[in-house]
Amino acid sequence: MNRFQKQKIDQYLKEHKQSLDDIQQAFIDALTINQVSNEQAAALMVAIMRNLMLMPHNAKQLQALGIEPSKLSIDAVTELINVWAREYAKNL
């Protein structure tokens, strides 16, 4: 990717960035329309979190803490979700 392409992509992403409230509402709408059960939603959230942890910027952060994201168990992923959600809620 050349510099021009990167600038265009960055500009597009900046212009179309959604708030966390908008993202949350999109998830809730999709889950409601598809009548997703609690168990299915939980599995989906863990799968989404695993994928997010493997993104380069997030993986680097975890690796700096001595955590290898590709080797995390479901229990470890859910524990990290718990910690991060509590920390985020403190700042609301």
- Check pLDDT > 90 for residue 73: yes
The answer to whether the CB of 34 falls within 8 A of the CB of 18 is no
Statement to judge: residues 13 and 44 lie in one domain: no
Predicted pLDDT at 5 = 85
DSSP 8-state assignment for residue 11: H
* Judgement on whether residues 42 and 74 belong to the same structural domain of the protein: yes
> Are residues 50 and 86 both part of a single domain?
yes
Residue tagged 């920390």 (tokens): 87
Q: Are residues 41 and 78 in the same domain?
A: yes
User: Per this entry, what is the length of the chain?
Assistant: 92
Mean pLDDT of 14-34: 91
pLDDT of residue 14: 85
- 7 and 46 together in one domain: no
Q: Is there a single domain that holds both residue 24 and residue 48? A: no
**How many domains does the chain fold into?**
2
What is the predicted pLDDT for the residue at 7? 87
The predicted model gives 30-45 an average pLDDT of: 96
Residues 14 and 46 placed together within one structural domain of the fold: no
Lowest mean pLDDT among 9-13, 27-31, 55-59, 81-85: 9-13
Copy the structure tokens of residue 27. Answer: 């998830």
* Residue 65 near residue 41, CB atoms below 8 Å: no
62 contact partners, CB below 8 Å, separation of at least 6: 53, 68, 69
Give 9's pLDDT tier (boundaries 50, 70, 90): confident
Maximum C-alpha span of the chain: 45
What is the span of the domain harbouring residue 71?
37-92
